[in-house]
């Protein structure tokens, strides 16, 4: 664990080992998620990064649909 200091402008610098290990680059979007006890840094990804993630999963579903949701 590396400690960082909050600047007078409320800015922090991500430690080099964190940037390297998580592959953070300048210009990336991140969010701070506060669960009341801890704050997590979450990388925000564009919609294009999700392309192909569901390939093959939608057609081979074993889940039965409700009658009103079934195709005619």
Instruction: Determine phi and psi for 12, rounding to 5 degrees.
Output: -130, 155
Residue 55: beta bridge partners? Answer: none
Q: What is the pLDDT of residue 13?
A: 94
Q: What is the pLDDT of residue 4?
A: 94
Give the start-to-end residue ranges of the domains of the chain.
20-47
**What tokens were used for 16?**
């080099």
Q: What is the pLDDT of residue 58?
A: 61
Q: What is the pLDDT of residue 59?
A: 61
Residue 66: beta bridge partners? Answer: none
Residue 44: beta bridge partners? Answer: none
Q: Which parts of the chain have pLDDT scores under 50? A: none
| pTM (predicted TM-score) | 0.54
Q: What is the pLDDT of residue 20?
A: 93
> Using CA atoms, how far apart are residues 3 and 15, in angstroms rounded to an integer?
9
Q: What is the pLDDT of residue 60?
A: 55
């Amino acid at each position: 664990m590396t400690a960082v200091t909050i600047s007078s402008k409320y800015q922090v610098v991500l430690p080099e080992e964190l940037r390297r290990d998580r592959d953070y680059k300048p210009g990336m979007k991140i969010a701070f998620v506060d669960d009341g006890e801890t704050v997590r840094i979450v990388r925000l990804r564009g919609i294009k990064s999700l392309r192909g993630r569901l390939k093959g999963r939608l057609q081979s579903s074993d889940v039965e649909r409700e009658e009103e949701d079934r195709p005619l």
